[in-house]
Structure 1
Amino acid sequence: MSFFPCKRSLRLSLLCALLSLTGCASQQQSVLYEQLGGEPGLAALVDNLLQKMADDEEIARHFQDTDIALFRKGLIDKLCVVSDGPCEYTGDTMKNIHKGFNISQADFDSLVQHLIHAMQEEGVPIAGRNALLKRLAPMYQEVVYQ
């Protein structure tokens, strides 16, 4: 006796398995977004980071003429997209945004440290911290002044 008594049951089972895998794939894509706390977690993370940036004179000087509310929204949206969240980033490219800022490697490294500390303070698990940093790392070339 066969495990599947008829071909129809086999097709139905295969369809269910395929749908189950599709559900897992879409769930897996949002794991980082969930580790970051979703929209409220990203907002808290960005607010924490902005405070650290404001307290760092070397970093803050780059943002003297910046509309911080607009910057905050853009950063939340960018991190949401980078973490596979349900957001849309409509801002400019990282290269265009940072053009003329003359951001040094030291500035970049300081900002990364502030981001790490903000994530720790917001309770982002280490796997989430590492995953976000890995996804942000390729932007280095677009941010740091060459």
Structure 2
Amino acid sequence: MKTLAIWISALLLCASAAHAQTAPVPQAPLAPLYQALGEKPGIAALMGDFVDRMKANARIGKLFDEIKPAYLKEQLTDQICELSGGPCKYEGEEMKKSHEKLGIDKAQFNLVVEILQAAMDARAIPFSTQNQLLAKLAPMHRDIITVQ
């Protein structure tokens, strides 16, 4: 009888464990900034516009001659998606490594920020959302500006 009770207890524990494993895992709510940017499709559209504007800019377009636009758009989309609290994982190079040989000065960096703001304005991204994204990107200037 004692063996039967132990066996039933073990069976119930296994059933409970199996049920717990098959129960759906609740997902974390999406981050507000990620949502405000339109989630991954919105970020991809923004980065597409941003890259096109940078490449077309006479002052900095040449910096992107060696980079395939589709690749840059994809990398930036993943980076902004992750940075804004989305589910993406940026697996590209560190900013310092990818910018070290480009010779970017403060004026060029500021121009890129202006181009990003123009792309966000064109997509009607609210000013407060723009500021949130720029605040997350601002610390990168230390790794991007290589010419004083």
Amino acid at match of 1:115: L
**How far did 1:69 drift?**
1.4
User: How far apart, CA to CA, are the structure 2 residues paired with 1:36 and 1:124?
Assistant: 7
User: How far apart, CA to CA, are the structure 2 residues paired with 1:77 and 1:89?
Assistant: 5
Q: Percent identity?
A: 33
User: How far apart, CA to CA, are the structure 1 residues paired with 2:83 and 2:89?
Assistant: 10
Amino acid at match of 2:44: A
Aligned pairs, how many? 121
Give runs of aligned pairs for residues 102-117 of structure 1, distance below 5 A.
102-117=103-118
Aligned to 1:89: 90
Aligned to 1:125: 126
**How far did 1:77 drift?**
0.3
- Please state whether the residue corresponding to 1:86 is helix, strand or coil: coil
Give the ranges of 4+ consecutive aligned residues of structure 1 lying more than 3 Å apart after TM superposition: none
Stretches of structure 1 that go unaligned for 5 or more consecutive residues are 1-22
Greater helix percent: which structure? 1
Stretches of structure 2 that go unaligned for 5 or more consecutive residues are 1-25
Q: TM-score scaled to structure 1, two decimals?
A: 0.78
CA root-mean-square deviation:
1.4
Q: TM-score scaled to structure 2, two decimals?
A: 0.77
- Please state whether the residue corresponding to 1:62 is helix, strand or coil: helix
Amino acid at match of 1:83: S
Larger CA Rg, structure 1 vs 2: 2
**How far did 1:51 drift?**
1.8
**How far did 1:107 drift?**
0.6
